[in-house]
A and B are shown apart, each in its own frame.
Chain A
Amino acid sequence: MPLISRGFHGRGREGPADRIPPGQHLVDDFPVLSAGPTPHTTLEEWTFTIEGGAEPVRWTWDEFQALPREEVTVDIHCVTKWSKLDTVWEGVSIDTLLDHVDYDSDYLLAYSDGGYTTNLPLEHVTDGKAWVAYNYGGEPLEPEHGGPARLLVPHLYFWKSAKWVRGLRLRDEDDPGFWESNGYHILGDPWLEQRYWGD
């Protein structure tokens, strides 16, 4: 056991056990994590595409804004051990988006500006489990938190909620994305503490 330093403790605090997954602690701020430079895509350039179905389906920003939107309040859990409760987002449900696509795949790879990717089984983004979110806390999502829009999959570790998301590629295999191919768990269920390979 490494040396304990008198009086040192982490910043996180305990929270209601039924809402904080194992190994997590509660934070009140919203930490910014990033694996690279913040992309700055203008709304004029922005599109969202779903490929891998019978044919690609694409929305411009204005078209995306015209889709039925939902406001959701969810808890989020980062694999770096912080959890934040009751975060409020607004965006389009993945169910709504997939209604426009003729597909029969079981998996997807989400891809983002800047090259980030993350893989998900379709059963984990359907039936009200996932959104493409463009507002946070009632305001447009800031670039440092993934704006113009990010994936939101709150029941899994937050690395699955890809920032700066631009589309989904539907696939027949669960091909690991950026972090999943280098140590992080293929699924990432925080309640089963699926952080790393083999967990």
Chain B
Amino acid sequence: MALATGVRWSFAGKDARRVNSEELLAQPRTLTAGEQRGPVAQAPFRQARLTWLVAEVTGKVDETPRVRTLTLDANGWAGHRPGQHLDVRLTAEDGYQAQRSYSIASAPDEQLAITVEKLADGEVSPWLVDDARDGDRFEVRGPIGGYFVWQDDGRPVFLVGGGSGVVPLMAMIRSSSGSARMRLLYSSRTLEDVIYRDELAEREGHGVEVFYTLTRAQPPGWTGYSKRIDTALLREVAWPAADRPHVFICGSTRFVDAAADGLVELGYEPESIRTERFGATG
């Protein structure tokens, strides 16, 4: 989706363009207690454009001890663009519902798949990772997101992923024909936590270079990086800013902010950097 031209975006508040504004908005009108009325009896004025579809699990792959990919058959699914996500909604027998968002791992021309990390104290992810079986059904809606989306325009691509943040980046990698120049910088705690390891090894040399940093423990003989991403690491791995790559960073807020700040320090234009922050509850 094309962005409006001629407007400079801010990145995390830096380089913000201030719009001329003569006055603040008026304060919200204060309500008296009596105005807090109950529901108005009338039909909703518009249908939601995004409807819940029924998805059935058609397969599973245990990527790591805590991460699983589910392939889905969703009746009515209209397709997606690499980087988008979908929302999952689970309903229990007593009517209790929980809803979470998961990045789509598959390329648009592959069978729909999501990759889910089981989070401690999670509500939805433990069911998806531990319990869901082939044939199980749940609700999904999507695809969602027009910002964190990659479209090949010939520019090189720098993908920076922390933990399960690699998932939407993998959809981008899987969507590329191999002609795109892509680099992935992937931060994980240990080698065991690296998702898609075998597939990434196969893809290396076919349009994508992969750099790993293992931040908690490294195997004997490890020749990759072993620290949290910082400007020094980025300087060694990132495309030169002058190459004007597209940048996609995905992971926890702390990870994303550190990587984005590091790239801005290396001279990257903030508007070339797209970010998606994952929450810690699942």
Instruction: State the A residues within 8 Å of B (CB).
Output: 1-11, 29, 173-176, 180-181, 185-186, 197-199
Contact = CB atoms under 8 A, between A and B. Distances in A.
A5 B127 contact: yes
A8 B37 contact: no
Interface string B116-148: 000001010001000101001111000000000
B32 interface: yes
Contact of B36 (A4, A5, A197): A197
B219 interface: no
A181 B31 contact: yes
A53 to B, nearest CB: 21
A181 B27 CA distance: 12
Given A1-B95, A10-B98, 17 more contacts: A2-B89, A3-B54, A3-B91, A4-B92, A4-B93, A5-B136, A7-B136, A10-B92, A10-B96, A29-B121, A174-B32, A174-B33, A176-B31, A176-B33, A176-B36, A186-B36, A198-B38
Given A10-B98, A197-B38, A5 B31 contact: no
Contact of A7 (B31, B37, B131, B139): B131
Contacts of B97: 2
A198 B30 contact: no
Nearest to B121: A29
B52 interface: yes
A199 B127 CA distance: 33
Contacts of B237: none
Interface residues of B, number: 30
A9 B127 CA distance: 9
26 contacts: A1-B91, A2-B91, A3-B91, A3-B139, A4-B92, A5-B91, A5-B92, A5-B137, A5-B138, A6-B133, A6-B137, A7-B127, A7-B131, A8-B90, A8-B98, A9-B94, A10-B96, A10-B98, A11-B121, A29-B121, A174-B32, A176-B33, A176-B36, A181-B30, A185-B36, A198-B36
B91 A4 contact: yes
B interface secondary structure, majority: loop
Contacts of B33: 174, 176, 186
A181 B38 contact: no
Nearest to B39: A198
A2 B54 CA distance: 10
Contact of B92 (A8, A173, A181): A8
Given A7-B131, A8-B90, A176-B31, A2 B52 contact: yes
Contacts of A176: 30-31, 33, 36
Nearest to A185: B36
B28 interface: yes
Contacts of B123: 10-11
Contacts of B98: 8, 10
Contacts of A6: 133, 136-137
Contacts of A29: 121
Nearest to B126: A11
B137 A8 contact: no
Contact of A173 (B32, B37, B95): B32
Contacts of A2: 52, 89, 91, 97, 139
Contacts of B96: 9-10
Contacts of A4: 91-93
Interface in B25-46: 28, 30-33, 36-39
Which residue among A2, A8, A9 has the maximum number of chain B CB atoms within 10 Å of its CB?
A8
